[in-house]
Chains A and B, each alone.
Chain A
Amino acid sequence: MGNTALENQIKRQSNRRMLELLEISKRFDGVFAIKDVSFSISLGSITGLIGPNGAGKTTLFNVITGFLNPENGTVNFQNRPLTGLSPFKIALSGIGRTFQNLRIIKGLSVEENILLALSEGRVIRSIIKAFERRDSKVEEEKVKELLEVVGLSDKRYDLAGDLSYGQQKLLTIACCLALEPRLLLLDEPVAGIAPEMIEKILGIIKELPSKGKSVIMIEHNLDAIMQVCDRVIFMDAGKKICEGTPEEVRNDPRVIEAYID
């Protein structure tokens, strides 16, 4: 990560808690998918969330973003509680996310997918807008910018379904950014794609703190985690086992043990 003035300012304020989880537990059919998980994310950080399959990482994301309600515990975002809010509200309040099984609207074009996030959310308003002859210049500009950030400018009018898997992943990140989130939750952003594309995506992720954004990233690709994250949290069987810098976590005996098994 380079040194810009903005970055330094952010580092000075790095004690500001962006996201705080307190004793989150979630049960399915009597089994605890996550139990008493607590941690906090600071402004401008990139945090890796790692652990074996079934550790509860995606479940945690689902709880944070409101798709699941925890049995107990609270989630605070910028010092305001999130638990109990509906997921669309949480998205609008500044938390964007991507999904492990790549969700995108294949039947719409690249541009339309991004416009989905950008355009008027309130229902009645959007119907009224249907009949107005307003130029959406502002929106068009934003689409252009976002496509430049992820490098998909030449695919603007293509159907999302016609893109390669890696390009679709870039698109999901663009859509996520279209919400102007303060926090991005990326679920396996570089899984299943070619090395050049991995570099591209990691490059985009690395730039995010300089734009004032924080990231939590679930990944199995430990190289990617090492490259990009300044903190790592390790989970196994629904519990947070340890957290720290990438080096610290990598050398933690419990982590080594879990990955050897």
Chain B
Amino acid sequence: MDYFFHILIVIGIYSIVAMSLNLLAGYTGLISVAHAAFYGIGAYTTALLSLKAGLPFWVNIFAGILASGIIAFLMAWPSLRTFDDFFVITTFAFQIIIFSIMNNWVSFTGGPLGLPGIPRPIILGITISSHLMFLFFVASFVMPIYLMLNQIADSSFGRVLKAIREDEIFAISMGKDVIKYKITVFVIGATIASVGGSLYAYYISFIDPTSFTIIESIFMLSIVIIGGAGKLSGSIAGAALLIFIPEFLRFIDMPNSIAANMRQIFYGLLLVIFMMFRPQGLFGEYSFGESNKKAKQ
């Protein structure tokens, strides 16, 4: 049973990250492969603070939000100045650089060895120790985040995002400061991803840079696209799919040495198949598959 809770917790954490990336990539069309970096910034900030300062968990999580928000802004502001497709590559570069910092700044982040022994959060004197408790803890983040993002997506702000995705020149000609919108949604995406990272740090209680690589970023992007871009609930479903199903492979008898590889192969296969046959994902209302070249003329 505990194992089942574990899966749900992981799905919950990835849902948070995927939803935030969906807002950015799915609704606005801003593809970013730097999301694992912000996830990591949240994780590291929370880990460092809880290890060194012993502050309440919500302060640590908030600190993560602040850190990632500031870094996201510093990153987005110069990169989003023009309407080009080069933004993806810029996020690629940032992701690698931030990963480098996590991996190499040993005195601060512990380098490749990471940060062990992160204490579990304490609410009202009770330590969130069991898996079931942590599941509730995570769920208490997932729900409000879903509702909040949904509210934003359905508002006039969300409408502008969708317009930017399809034809940003039209959006500009309608008097919208598209650059500012993009920066804003990027910062929102980054800060929520960092919440996911903070929860991850608390859950696993040991973090190291290998969880925050470019490969992880692409995994997150895959969840968004397979789940369905432009549909928040799709991100939850996508997370469930990409995390749940490979776990079934555990029940098939396989020599340990290749189990990890087989899971990865499964994931790769899923990615290719979806991209080839159903690019709009499970529930997407926006297909990155069809060439929206007509709109982007």
**A-side interface residues toward B, CB under 8 Å?**
65, 67, 86-88, 91-92, 96-97, 99, 101, 103-108, 112, 115-117, 119-124, 126-127, 129-131, 175, 178-179
A123 touches B159 (CB 8 A): no
Which chain B residues in 153-169 approach chain A with CB under 8 Å?
A: 154-160, 162-163, 165-167, 169
In the bound complex, residues from chain B placing their C-beta under 8 Å from that of A106 are 166, 295
In the bound complex, residues from chain B placing their C-beta under 8 Å from that of A122 are 177
The answer to whether the Cβ of B97 comes within 8 Å of any Cβ in the partner chain is no
- What is the CB-to-nearest-CB distance from B82 to chain A, in angstroms, rounded to a whole number? 12
Give Cα distance in the complex from A120 to B160, angstroms. Answer: 10
A87 touches B173 (CB 8 A): yes
Contact residues of B: prevailing secondary structure: helix
In the bound complex, residues from chain B placing their C-beta under 8 Å from that of A96 are 173
The answer to whether the Cβ of B297 comes within 8 Å of any Cβ in the partner chain is yes
In the bound complex, residues from chain A placing their C-beta under 8 Å from that of B174 are 91, 116-117, 175, 178-179
Minimum CB distance partner of B170 in chain A? A103
**A179-B175 in contact given A123-B180, A129-B156 (Cβ < 8 Å):** yes
**A130-B175 in contact given A106-B295, A123-B181, A123-B184 (Cβ < 8 Å):** no
Give Cα distance in the complex from A214 to B265, angstroms. Answer: 63
In the bound complex, residues from chain B placing their C-beta under 8 Å from that of A108 are 159, 162-163, 166
A101 touches B297 (CB 8 A): yes
A91 touches B155 (CB 8 A): no
A103 touches B151 (CB 8 A): no
A88 touches B172 (CB 8 A): yes
**A105-B163 in contact given A88-B178, A120-B156, A127-B155 (Cβ < 8 Å):** yes
The answer to whether the Cβ of B152 comes within 8 Å of any Cβ in the partner chain is yes
Give Cα distance in the complex from A117 to B286, angstroms. Answer: 22
In the bound complex, residues from chain A placing their C-beta under 8 Å from that of B155 are 126-127, 129-130
